[in-house]
Amino acid sequence: MGAFGHYLTGHLATLRLEFWSLFVGGVANGFLYGMIAVGYTLVYGVLRLINFAHSEIFMSGGFGGYFVMKALIGSSVPSGMATVGLIVLGIVVGGTVGALVATLLERVAYRPLRRRNAPKLAYLISAIGASYFLFNLAGKEFGRYSLSMPQPYINHPVFTIFGATVQLYYIVIFIAGVVMLFSLDRVVATTKLGRSIRAVAQDAETASLMGVNIDRTIALTFIVGGALGGAAGFLFGLGTGVVYTMGFVPALKAFTAAVLGGIGNLRGAMIGGLLLGVAESLSVVFVQAAYIDVVAFGILVAVLLFRPTGILGERLGRAA
């Protein structure tokens, strides 16, 4: 035992004390990761490529929501129905901007390559180029410093769970996350659009023989993934503010979450997001907060080394 034993017991005591409050914060982050991660996994399903410009979809959604809040919220903080309306509006606008940027990316950065049967590396380079273009454009237009988002409510503890206080901001994320992820799951499992996304993911050519328009399905997949990513950008910005580089770290972590859950697997991305959020949050007991990113990417490396198919495995197009 000795020194390490003391180290461990000390930290475990802290963990016991702080567990629930860290857990609540971790779940909130986890929902955001999950909402971004499904975008990676959906696009991977239909195109077999990682959309590395997804971070900029998230960032644009953040700015979309920011400008709406800025335009609508005056000097007094809204309350009641006005708060609910503003949050819903922020999500809708963030999601719409995210979907638009995703559509643009698909048209400009990916579709021309698909027409030419370009190798996968070309997509990767195209994605990185599009990503640099978009975040620098945002930096040029909106400034290179962080803007705090006008708040549609006064954030306050709403209730406590096992001694941990739960902030209103977290409740907003929980509700939005559950509603969006659950709806997405049902859309993919039961609707005609969902069936066509799964069919293209499993066998695009055969899907076209059934009458599925592959181009249209791919475009719609980008729209769906972009909408959730953009909405997550707004929710993230609500707590942290918006800045042109805001997409990089959360999106890379969400990518980790998608790999952790099994890339191509929709529920895997959701579970991976929640797991990563919680693991990252609890890890502050053991390592300094400054190393929190190391934990997330340590998990990525470990998954890639030991279980590259992720928790649920690569069940492409299953998603149901």
**Residues in contact with 111: Cβ distance below 8 Å, sequence separation at least 6, in sequence order:** 215, 218
Closer Cβ to another protein, 121 or 209, answer by number: 209
**Which DSSP helix (H) or strand (E) runs through 166?**
strand 164-167
Least distance from another protein to the Cβ atom of residue 106, Å:
18
Q: What is the Cα–Cα distance from 220 to 125, expressed in whole angstroms?
A: 23
In the block, tokens 């709403």 appear at 158
Q: Residue 138 or 201: which CB sits closer to another protein?
A: 201
- Applying CB under 8 A, the span of 34-42, 153-161, 208-216, 294-302 interacting with another protein comes to 208-216
**267 scored as a contact of another protein (CB under 8 A):** no
| DSSP string for residues in 181-223 | HHHHHHHHHHSHHHHHHHHHHHHHHHHHHTT--HHHHHHHHHH
Within 8 A by CB and 6+ apart from 177, the residues are 31, 32, 34, 35
206 binds another protein (CB under 8 A): yes
Residue 313 beta carbon to another protein: minimum distance, rounded to whole angstroms: 11
Identity of the residue, 80 or 211, whose beta carbon is nearer to another protein in the bound complex: 211
Minimum Å gap between C-beta 114 and another protein is 15
Based on the shown chain and the rule CB under 8 A, indicate whether residue 203 belongs to the binding site for another protein. Answer: yes
Told to check if 196 binds another protein by CB under 8 A, we report: yes
Instruction: Considering the complex, state which of residue 212 and residue 279 has its C-beta at the smaller distance from another protein.
Output: 212
Nearest Cα to Cα of residue 172 among 77, 89, 68:
89
Contacts with another protein, residue ranges (CB under 8 A):
192, 195-196, 198-199, 202-203, 205-214, 315-318
